[in-house]
């Protein structure tokens, strides 16, 4: 770290800053016209020295060599070397680099970043107008979200561009806080959505989430909870934070939660160091049967791919950084070689440490800051091609590919800036940027607009938040028969400008670490089938619910319906409640036994009336037919015939015309019938009254014309009542659903209850009047006193219709029509049998009594 003290001598002289102390760092460098900085994790651990400024240089003691971090640094060196050899990209500029090891420590990484942007001059003269090239044009790094946040917060103040290849925290997309931060790895926000898409793809709605206790894990958890709630794709059974240190009690508690949970899917946003500690406890408790989903931080962690852990981690699905190919990288990696004569040269220390780690030898003396040297002495002539090491395995370049793209992004941005034509530039006064007067924010401008395609075919550009066009590979941990693990690609998830986010999975390739060799079920509650709705369990997440059958008249035709939908008015729910079916129609039909019986009875009554009419017509000249006005008898038979026929209007689906006609026909037919009976009764009384001395003149009021006129007037009154009723409030067909929810009862509503009551009341009035007159004439002297028959018939008629009213009111639907038909038929048969039965009996069976003498009361000798 560089610290300057500044002083101004006088107005005539320039001010200057003097270097007070230096913090020496492990690193590599190469000179050039423009320098790019880099921050890499070459060691796992470090010991901090005294940070006070002394005369002696200070250097952190780092140990635990990370060969992959070293390869990432070498990839940056290769990319710069490749750019310098490319005559089409920055042809007049030579790039150099200055790469530092952060030792996985925030303090060291922060000091390294400040060293890069401050430069290494011993003294800086502060001119009145600053000019020249910055110490570094931009920084590639850091790999950690926490360190990237801290470093980019400071660099953003001066708009120094920083392009990270591994920092994924979604918080870094905040352009207000990090205006000069870019990255070639997708944000955790996209990674979270990718995981949610995987969950949806396999129907996993119930999962546990484990996170690291840092910005990476905490922001991932926040995004995951938010996006999961918005997508409606599932719920978290538990959320646990993994401790940084090996805390056995806390790990035991977390694994116990996992073991007791019904969630079969476990998502882990943490680092491989967390997973190492966690898996030790998982093995100890023997928690099997879990489907693990790995974040990109540990998807490719070889330390976890051991036969001992594959029993538990086999079949893991993971999000991995996009794999790429970098032609020529292998040959470049083979070129490194330790310099035995420059023990402390800049960059040689890291090469020697790599050499000792790879060949398990040691240099004498050991490299500065290196505490792990041991074994045989290194000769420097060892051959990298003869040793199996991750360093030379370039078949799975992921983070290195991101480093490669980051370097090229900075190079293309600088190239675009140098292509600017004076007077047509994007800056103030249409000016252009230049190396001689370069401001960092000018490069940020071009970096935001950079757009190029790598040799592997991937397009690289940044959105308004500095995020690269996202793409991830979906990886699967395959457990081979020999106990080894193979991490295979089974799909990808990406976002394109036109199609949005897309998940592609080759499910046939996926290895499932279960006996069934199929994806597990991980749900809090099984899906509700059609015909049911979901009802949340109180106090539990939305994914935990009961399936409640839809009530009658409602359906759900989809799985996991939140509500049941009411069927339309003319439909009802099926027994399974999964679709609507037309409601059963109910009306007095000709196709049911009751309708058939009533119709047959009606036709029987009509037939009997026709037979009686035939008998009376054939015997129309006989005394019993001619007695008491035979014309009224014929009218009575015809009216009874109409009564029987009108009952057929009550059978069948109600129509407007049948509803209007049925009651009118019924009312007029019965009034005609009862009017005939009333007139006949009046004639009987008049005849016998006229037989008394002095009463003969009264018969002139009961002649044939008067009888016809009386029947006509009485019937016309009923016709008028029916006309007023139909015109003012006509009966009409009606679909009634109140009697039965699952049936449509077709009925005729009377329209006006008053009209119907007046119609029935008028019939009742005539019937009672006929009954009273007939009752008065029942004891008149005559061998064949028709008044007795009329009395009996009216008694039956009144009894039937008195019983009809309560029965009609209490009968629902078609049974009300059946009651009315039954009343019509019963009263019709009562009148027919009572009035014409005895006469037909005499005509057919006792013709000897069908004489005027017999009728006038003379006894016939046998």
Give the bridge partners for 100, in sequence order: 27, 39
Counting residues of the chain whose pLDDT is more than 70, the rounded percentage is 87
Residues 574-598 have a mean pLDDT of 89
Assigned token pair, 854: 């017999």
CA distance linking residue 808 with residue 810, whole number of Å: 6
Spatial contact of 298 and 273, defined as CB atoms under 8 Å apart: no
Give the model's confidence band at 855: pLDDT under 50 very low, under 70 low, under 90 confident, else very high: low
Give the model's confidence band at 5: pLDDT under 50 very low, under 70 low, under 90 confident, else very high: very low
Q: What is the pLDDT of residue 8?
A: 44
pLDDT exceeds cutoff 90 at 691: no
Question: Where is pLDDT greater, at 443 or 682?
Answer: 443
pLDDT exceeds cutoff 50 at 166: yes
Q: What is the pLDDT of residue 93?
A: 93
CA distance linking residue 761 with residue 755, whole number of Å: 10
> How many residues belong to the chain?
862
pLDDT exceeds cutoff 60 at 238: yes
Question: Where is pLDDT greater, at 487 or 810?
Answer: 487
Assigned token pair, 770: 């006929």
Q: What is the pLDDT of residue 702?
A: 63
Give the bridge partners for 361, in sequence order: 376
CA distance linking residue 474 with residue 799, whole number of Å: 89
Give 486-523 pLDDT, tens digit per residue: 899 999 998 877 777 889 999 999 999 999 999 999 99
Give the bridge partners for 694, in sequence order: none
* CB within 8 Å of 169: residues ≥ 6 apart: 145, 146, 148, 149, 187, 188, 215, 216, 219, 220
Residues 250-274 have a mean pLDDT of 93
Quickly count: other Cβ atoms within 10 Å of residue 763's Cβ. 23
Strands 291-294 and 317-321: parallel
* CB within 8 Å of 624: residues ≥ 6 apart: 784, 839, 842, 843, 849, 850, 855
CA dihedral (70, 76, 79, 83) in degrees, to 10, reads -140
pLDDT exceeds cutoff 90 at 341: no
Give 751-806 pLDDT, tens digit per residue: 888 988 898 889 889 888 888 887 776 666 554 456 777 788 888 888 888 888 78
> Where do we find the tokens 């597990």?
520
Assigned token pair, 742: 């699952």
Which of 121-130, 598-607, 778-787, 803-812 has the highest average model confidence (pLDDT)?
A: 598-607
Strand segments, DSSP code E, in 354-403 are: 361-362, 376-377
CA distance linking residue 45 with residue 27, whole number of Å: 16
Question: Where is pLDDT greater, at 754 or 49?
Answer: 754
Spatial contact of 269 and 210, defined as CB atoms under 8 Å apart: yes
Q: pTM of whole model > 0.75?
A: no
Give 514-566 pLDDT, tens digit per residue: 999 999 999 998 888 999 998 988 888 888 889 999 998 899 989 888 899 99
Residues 155-184 have a mean pLDDT of 92
Three-state SS at 91: coil
Provide the mean pLDDT of the chain.
84
pLDDT exceeds cutoff 80 at 854: no
Spatial contact of 290 and 261, defined as CB atoms under 8 Å apart: no
Quickly count: other Cβ atoms within 10 Å of residue 17's Cβ. 18
Give the model's confidence band at 90: pLDDT under 50 very low, under 70 low, under 90 confident, else very high: very high
Give 648-667 pLDDT, tens digit per residue: 988 888 888 888 888 889 88
pLDDT exceeds cutoff 90 at 315: yes
H-helix segments, 12-143: 67-84, 106-118
| Torsional sign, CA 418, 424, 175, 465 | negative
Q: What is the pLDDT of residue 861?
A: 37
Q: What is the pLDDT of residue 550?
A: 93
Three-state SS at 697: helix
Residues 145-158 have a mean pLDDT of 92
CA distance linking residue 72 with residue 61, whole number of Å: 21
Q: Residue 817 phi/psi, 5° resolution?
A: -65, -40
């Amino acid at each position: 770290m560089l610290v300057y003290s500044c002083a101004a001598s006088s107005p005539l002289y320039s001010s200057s800053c003097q270097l007070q102390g230096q913090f020496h760092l492990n690193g590599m460098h190469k000179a050039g016209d423009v320098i790019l900085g880099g921050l890499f994790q070459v060691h796992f651990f470090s010991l901090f020295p005294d940070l006070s400024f002394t005369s002696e240089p200070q250097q952190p003691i780092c140990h635990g060599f990370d060969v992959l971090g070293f390869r990432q640094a070498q990839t940056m060196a290769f990319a710069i070397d490749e750019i310098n050899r490319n005559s089409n990209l920055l042809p007049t500029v030579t790039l150099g680099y200055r790469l530092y090891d952060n030792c996985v420590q925030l303090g060291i990484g922060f000091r390294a970043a400040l060293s890069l942007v401050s430069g290494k001059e011993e003294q800086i003269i502060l001119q009145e107008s600053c000019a020249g090239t910055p110490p570094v044009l931009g920084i590639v790094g850091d790999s950690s979200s926490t360190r990237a946040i801290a470093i980019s917060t400071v660099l953003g103040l001066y708009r120094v561009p920083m392009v990270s290849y591994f920092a994924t925290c979604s918080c870094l997309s905040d352009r207000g806080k990090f205006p000069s931060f870019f990255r070639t790895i997708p944000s955790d926000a996209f990674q979270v959505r990718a995981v949610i898409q995987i969950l949806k793809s396999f129907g996993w709605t119930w999962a546990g989430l484990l996170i690291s206790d840092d910005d990476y894990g905490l922001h991932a958890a926040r995004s995951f909870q938010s996006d999961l709630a918005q997508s409606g794709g599932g719920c978290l059974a538990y959320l646990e934070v993994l401790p940084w240190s090996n805390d056995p009690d806390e790990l035991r508690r977390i694994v116990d939660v996992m073991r007791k949970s019904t969630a079969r899917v476990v998502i882990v946003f943490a680092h491989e160091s967390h997973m190492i500690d966690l898996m030790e406890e998982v093995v100890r408790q023997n928690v099997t049967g879990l489907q693990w989903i790995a974040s990109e931080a540990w998807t490719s962690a070889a330390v976890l791919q051991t036969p001992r852990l594959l029993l538990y981690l086999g079949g893991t699905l993971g999000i991995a950084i996009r794999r790429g190919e970098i032609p020529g990288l292998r040959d470049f990696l083979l070129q490194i070689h330790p310099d035995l004569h420059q023990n402390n040269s800049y960059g040689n220390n890291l090469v020697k440490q790599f050499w000792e780690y790879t060949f398990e030898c040691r240099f004498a003396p050991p490299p500065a800051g290196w505490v792990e040297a041991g074994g045989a002495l290194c000769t420097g002539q060892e051959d990298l091609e003869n040793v199996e090491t991750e360093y030379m395995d370039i078949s799975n370049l992921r983070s290195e590919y991101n480093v490669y793209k980051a370097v090229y992004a900075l190079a293309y941005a600088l190239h675009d800036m140098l292509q600017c034509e004076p007077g047509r530039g994007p800056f103030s006064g249409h000016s252009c940027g230049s190396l001689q007067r370069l401001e960092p924010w000018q490069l940020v401008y071009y970096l935001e607009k950079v757009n190029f395609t790598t040799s592997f075919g991937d397009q690289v550009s940044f959105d308004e938040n500095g995020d690269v066009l996202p793409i991830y590979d979906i990886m699967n941990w395959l457990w081979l028969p020999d106990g080894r693990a193979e991490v295979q690609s089974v799909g990808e998830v990406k976002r394109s400008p036109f199609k949005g986010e897309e998940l592609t999975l080759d499910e046939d390739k996926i290895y499932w670490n279960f006996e069934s060799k199929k994806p597990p079920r991980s749900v809090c509650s099984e899906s509700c089938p059609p015909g049911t709705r979901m009802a949340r369990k109180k106090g539990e997440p939305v994914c935990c619910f009961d399936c409640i059958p839809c009530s009658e008249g409602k359906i759900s035709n989809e799985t996991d319906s939140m509500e049941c939908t009411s069927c339309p008015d003319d439909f009802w729910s099926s027994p399974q409640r999964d679709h609507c079916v037309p409601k059963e129609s109910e009306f007095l039909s000709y196709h049911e036994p009751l309708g058939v019986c009533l119709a047959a009875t009606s036709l029987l009554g009509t037939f009997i009336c026709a037979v009686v009419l035939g008998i009376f017509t054939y015997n129309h000249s006989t005394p019993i037919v001619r007695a008491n006005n035979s014309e009224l008898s014929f009218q009575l038979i015809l009216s009874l015939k109409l009564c029987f026929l009108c009952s057929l209007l009550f059978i069948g689906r109600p129509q407007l015309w049948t509803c209007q006609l049925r009651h009118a026909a019924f009312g007029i037919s019965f009034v005609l019938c009862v009017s005939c009976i009333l007139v006949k009764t009046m004639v009987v009384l008049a005849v016998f009254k006229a037989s008394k001395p002095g009463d003969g003149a009264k018969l002139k009021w009961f002649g044939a014309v008067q009888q016809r006129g009386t029947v006509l007037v009485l019937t016309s009154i009923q016709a008028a009542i029916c006309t007023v009723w139909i015109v003012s409030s006509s009966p009409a067909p009606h679909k009634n659903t109140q009697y039965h929810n699952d049936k449509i009862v077709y009925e005729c509503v009377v329209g006006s209850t008053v009209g119907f009551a007046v119609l029935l009341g008028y019939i009742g009035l005539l019937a009672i009047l006929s009954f009273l007159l007939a009752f008065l004439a029942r004891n008149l002297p005559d061998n064949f006193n028709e008044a007795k028959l009329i009395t009996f018939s009216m008694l039956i008629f009144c009894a039937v219709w008195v019983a009809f009213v309560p029965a009609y009111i209490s009968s629902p639907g078609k049974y009300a029509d059946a009651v009315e038909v039954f009343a019509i038929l019963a009263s019709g048969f009562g009148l027919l049998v009572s009035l014409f039965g005895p006469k037909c009996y005499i005509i057919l069976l006792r013709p000897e009594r069908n004489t005027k003498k017999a009728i006038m009361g003379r006894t016939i000798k046998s």
